[in-house]
Amino acid sequence: MPPSGWYKWRDIIPIDGNPISELSAPFTTSHNPFSESKNLTTGLENGKIRPCPSINPGCVSTNPQSSSFAFPWVIPENYSDNAIQKLQEAILKTQKNAKIQLVEDTPDGQYLQAEVDGGFGRDVLEFLVKRDVVTYRSMATKVTYVYPFTTALGDSKGQEERMKKIVDQLEWYAPSFDSMD
């Protein structure tokens, strides 16, 4: 038995005399960065690679609606027939503990999803190969927060560096703002 003066939530009665039943009910999940980071959506959205979630620092995506935009890659003509196979090989060769999760033909092109070791857990790589263009998104699946802050810790340029290793291995063209000077 707890010492005198201790109360259980169900024992508290507000000034108006009605018990506070809501306090004994389970708390509902609110929309905050921490809860949103637990439900990261993958896959195509309306036939396109999704933008980076705002709660995922370091994510990079070729979707123009993304705050961390990257240019799509251009596949040389001699690779266009086996681009998805070459992409899988480059991922497996350049990334730690890479696992190809999904390769599928869609009406919008060939979609590939892979998981690799990241800074705080596993990261997801998504690619859409359509003719001679590759769009992609690279993001962490685990986003870490330090209480009481609502800004996530991220791997800064880690996702960009990962994608650079893959495209360098492939020797495909990757436009950038730097190359426009």
Alpha carbon distance 37, 140 (integer Å): 10
Crossing angle for the helix pair 83-94 and 158-170, nearest 10 degrees?
130
Give per-residue pLDDT as tens, 94-153: 999 999 999 999 999 999 999 999 877 889 999 999 999 999 999 988 766 666 665 655
**Residue 141: predicted pLDDT:** 83
Share of the chain above pLDDT 70, in %: 69
CATH architecture entry for 58-170: 2-Layer Sandwich (3.30)
**Residue 7: predicted pLDDT:** 42
**Residue 54: predicted pLDDT:** 82
Angle at 165 between CA 171 and CA 36, to 5 degrees: 130
Torsion sign across C-alpha atoms 32, 35, 38, 43: negative
- 42 φψ region: left (φ > 0), alpha (ψ -120 to 50), beta (else): beta
Q: What is the residue extent of each domain of the chain?
A: 58-170
Query: What kind and span of H or E run contains 109?
Result: strand 109-117
**Residue 147: predicted pLDDT:** 67
